[in-house]
Amino acid sequence: MSAGRRRFRIIKEIAEGGFGKVYLAEQISSDGFSRIVAVKLLHAKWSSHDEVVMRTRDEARLLGLIRHQHIVKVEDLTSIDGKCAIVMEYLEGCDLKWMISFLQERGLDFPRAALFEIVLAVASALDAAYNGVPLQGGQPLRVIHRDIKPSNIFVTVAGGVKVLDFGTARANFAEREAKTQALAFGSQGYMAPERMLGEEDTPAADVFSLGIALYEILSLESFGRIPPRPNKFATKVEERVRSLPLSGDPEWCDQVRDTLRLMLSYEASERPTAAQLVEIMELLAQDANDMGLRRFCRTLVAEAKANLPDLDTGDPLTGRIVEEDKSASFSGSKNMSTTFVDEEDDLAAPPTERMKASDIARITNENFGESEDGNTPTMRMPVDPSLVKNKPKQAAAKAVPAVQAPAPPDEGGGGGGLVALLFGGSFAALVLVGVVAVLLILLVVGIYFMNQPTVGTSTPTPKPTPLQPIPTPKPEPMEPLVIEKANDGGAKVTLQYPDPAGAEIIIKGPQSFSAKWDGKEPAELDLKDGRYRTVVKAGDDTFRPTLTVDPKKKKCSFSFDVGTGEWTGGCN
């Protein structure tokens, strides 16, 4: 191994998205020291996309400047096999998106005290990122995350909370490379109204996104699409806040709802700051009177992590030892040797998914790539609104990632280029050109004679028989309605889905009731009274609405509204 260069033994793949993969790895230094890290490796196809590469490096540099217990840390920025690589700490736990699914499947609520402690930690991180002065000195970085959501909030089995994925962040720092924005970033289902309308980003937008995440974790349901117009927006927020399943002291419940209303204010100026949220969440956590963060992580988070699905993708890097590139740089790199290492602490950072510009690696099942439905958000590539208004054609072009070939090396300011480098003069270059020309002529003549018919033979050369495609076996049809666990008696409930093509619909409710339905024909069920959670997967969209069966009624009818992602109807 070359002196000073590190090797990484790739243990397994732990996440993948549209822009890269994250691996659990053992870092082996030249002096024999080793430790467990996570390595995010940019896909080869993005290595020539300037903005994606620059944002990947910007995220690593930014996280090297921020020192906060609730913000993921980056150890180093390097390159492996000519591709951008980020070395990060390995976090043992899971993100809140997985926790929501885990608790839903078991019919459990998210412990309120633990939840408010988590929101407190996130608010503290956002305040530090925007207002904190780097230990190196200088001005505050003014970091705005721009993609706060459950999948970007990570909890560890040891009781830690980390904000992930600053690849979409806006910040002020000297080493920043991405000065323009041909790509726009964020997840629509968590985006503040002013961001959807193309207004300037402010820290209040992160508070709004955190409010949507808080609602979803409290209710274990998706908030749904956010109306950008004030009247519809206010109506939906009020409906959602009032329907929250809160129990306990009525005054405390009102305080929780009032806090959510403030965080989800249409006007950015009416939302509390991140620093104010820290104080508010501390009080709400103290009065929640249930499981705190450490016990929650020690029990439920540890169990949820144990249930994370393993990624068995057959990745060719798994089990191999790879070495960082000699120059620690790659095409289009700028100052790639820059390393942010704190002498008293080993650094790092995991990140998330979904397609996103520099989704710095996530150390979870968070399948890096998700659909853009507001419920399972993703990195988006919409056109900048201001560009749409002024130059629609140019904007559309900028929304498509351009793959550019790297420029040829330019040694000594011109001259004979690669030939001059190899042969040292113009005469050698001319000789080489002549040899190549002769070879090309011989090749063309040879091909010509090979295609002529054989002398004395009139039989034409038979054409090859084209290969016939192998028919793909059709999948076995799914049963229209499968009741996996029934509950006896109750009301007759009819469910209808508007699209005859159907959808994948899962229904769960009291007494561990569960059923699967294809949505193509109306479904009739006998359901006990109570609240039923459903998952509706329609194309790229996933909705998680609930329906309630009235105990005083014997017949109920519900129809799914694709526009709102909710069940309409009721019991009579």
Query: Which among 147, 206, 373, 518 is annotated as catalytic?
Result: 147
The conformation of residue 542, written as its DSSP 8-state character, comes to E
Tokens of 219: 């209710």
Per the DSSP assignment, residues forming a β-bridge with 508 are 514, 533
Tokens of 552: 């005083």
The residue assigned the tokens 């059923």 is 515
Q: Are 558 and 567 in contact (CB under 8 A)?
A: yes
Token digits for 69? 């217990």
Non-local (6+) Cβ contacts of 255 within 8 A are 283, 284
Q: Which residues, in sequence order, are bridge partners of residue 367?
A: none
DSSP 239: H
Burial 199-232 (b: 16+ CB within 10 A, else e): eebbbbbbbbbbbbbbbbbbbbbbbbbbbeeeee
Residue with tokens 């950015």: 268
Is the Cβ–Cβ distance between 143 and 83 less than 8 Å? no
What Cα–Cα distance (Å) separates residue 196 from each residue in 38, 383, 386?
34, 11, 11
CB 75 within 8 A of CB 346: yes
Contacts of 274 (CB under 8 A, 6+ apart): 123, 124, 126, 127, 130, 203, 206, 207
Tell me how crowded residue 418 is: count the other CB atoms within 10 A of its CB. Answer: 11
> Does the annotation count 147 as an active-site position?
yes
Within a 13 Å sphere around the CA of 19, how many CA atoms are in the beta-carbon half? Answer: 35
d(Cα 192, Cα 374) in Å, to the nearest integer? 12
Give catalytic residues, as residue numbers: 147
